[in-house]
Amino acid sequence: MSKTALLFAGQGAQVVGMGKDFAANEPLAKAWFDRANATLGYDLTSICFRGPEEELTKTEHAQPGIYLVSWVAFQLLKDRVPTLTFEATAGLSLGEFTALAAAGALSFEDGLNVVRQRGRFMQEACEVTRGGMAAVIGLDEASTRDVCAEAGVVLANLNCPGQLVISGEAGKIAKAVELAKAKGAKRAIPLPVAGAYHSPLMASAQPKLEAALKAIPLQPPTVPVIANVTAQPHGDPDAIRQRMVEQVTGSVLWEASMRHLLAQGFTRFIELGPGTALSGFLKRIDKSAQILNLADMASLEATVKAVVP
């Protein structure tokens, strides 16, 4: 029997228009978008559907926007395939909150509110630090760690073989980019982000997020949810809160998380939400895995066709 894991998109996947055709074609989707607006008290849906891009890319809008579109994709899949079962969930950075919500650890509304607050807290941390990030392509982990140590930055995302992301003070990232190229990286590219996510420069967001998480009820997940910072399943609600606070400054162990699931016998992975970044990473990790994605009506139809027995 094949085991299915659901994967949820992270920040950077946002694109103006995301979720629009879901709402236009599926009353269920429109109902969830309306519910999100009512929960937040502002028109997040309009920002997702129509932008402008500079509004959508603001961390406080991008994070709840991606959470919302990913959740709607999940609901549409369940509606179309009521017999579908999944045995684990995982999400990249912000997507870990969607993964927890899908596994019943927190309600849709609490997740949406916390993700919006998280986005705001991280934006505030960006504004008081001068941080940046860069993707390092084609350099192994050990060499990239040497670059980080020499430049004074940190390894933020270990996404897949040959695709790592570093994070730190803007000037030090510029130095790290040059060092990475000198060590043989195929490419080292500064990323268009507001700050140094998953680095110590985000530390000021941690106590605020900790307080926000303490204010909402959490339940044990109904299926394993893989934690970014450990690449292992989450524990009890108190441990979930702790891991999610650690995640703000900790490295995202995405490749290790996927390898954990593969070792547990997972063969089918469904990426939910805008973009196909997670599908791309997984292809680099294990070409034999069945990888589906669900970002719009066309990919919904294709995924339903692939999973219906």
Residue tagged active-site, from 61, 70, 167, 198: 198
18: CB partners within 8 A, 6+ apart: 48, 49, 65, 66, 69, 274, 295
If phi over 0 gives left and psi between -120 and 50 gives alpha, with beta otherwise, what is residue 17? left
Please tell me the total number of residues recorded for the chain in this structure: 309
Q: Which two tokens stand for residue 235?
A: 């524990």
- Does 93 qualify as catalytic in the annotation? yes
User: Residue 20 and residue 6: Cα distance in Å, rounded?
Assistant: 22
DSSP for 141-197? HHHHHHHHHHHT-EEEEEEETTEEEEEEEHHHHHHHHHHHHHTT-SEEEE---SS-T
Q: Read off the DSSP letter of residue 130.
A: -
If phi over 0 gives left and psi between -120 and 50 gives alpha, with beta otherwise, what is residue 184? left
Q: How many Cα atoms occupy the beta-carbon half-sphere of 42 within 13 Å?
A: 10
Residue tagged active-site, from 70, 93, 251, 257: 93
For residue 141, the tally of other CB atoms under 10 A from its CB is: 14
Type of residue at 174: A
CA distances from 154 to 96, 143, 197 (A): 21, 13, 10
Q: Which residues are annotated as catalytic?
A: 93, 198
